[in-house]
Amino acid sequence: MTNARDVEQTARQIVCKVMGKKPEQVTLDALLVADLDMQSIDFIELYESLDQEFNVDIDDEANQIQTFGDLVRYIESRLNANSSETAGT
């Protein structure tokens, strides 16, 4: 199982790569659109990269993501849900 620190670090690396940002710019309270200048096309590339890395489906709940911290918590919740489903089978 991936721990929260690993999720945060890996997600930060992905955001930096997609957006061309420095890691220190991608703080937990950084707004994806206002602070990191994300556009719609960036979200598509970001979500595809996150899906490949974490094997999580990005659904309509992702529309509520405003900050990098929201993104990290979203990934963690998806990983926990996937883990629970796997444990239940």
| CATH number of the domain where residue 23 is located | 1.10.1200.10
Residue 87, in any domain of the structure: no
Residue 32, in any domain of the structure: yes
**Number of domains into which the chain is organized:** 1
Residue 89, in any domain of the structure: no
Residue 65, in any domain of the structure: yes
Residue 85, in any domain of the structure: no
Residue 20, in any domain of the structure: yes
> Taking the complete model, does pTM exceed 0.95, yes or no?
no
Residue 86, in any domain of the structure: no
Angle at alpha carbon of residue 7, lines to 13 and 69, rounded to 5°: 85
State the helix-helix crossing angle for 40-54 and 68-87, rounded to 10 degrees: 30
Per-residue pLDDT of the chain (89 residues; tens, 9 = 90+): 468 789 999 999 999 999 999 999 999 999 999 999 999 999 999 999 999 999 988 888 888 999 999 999 999 999 988 777 666 65
Token couple for 64: 């509520």
**Number of other CB atoms surrounding residue 42 within 10 Å:** 17
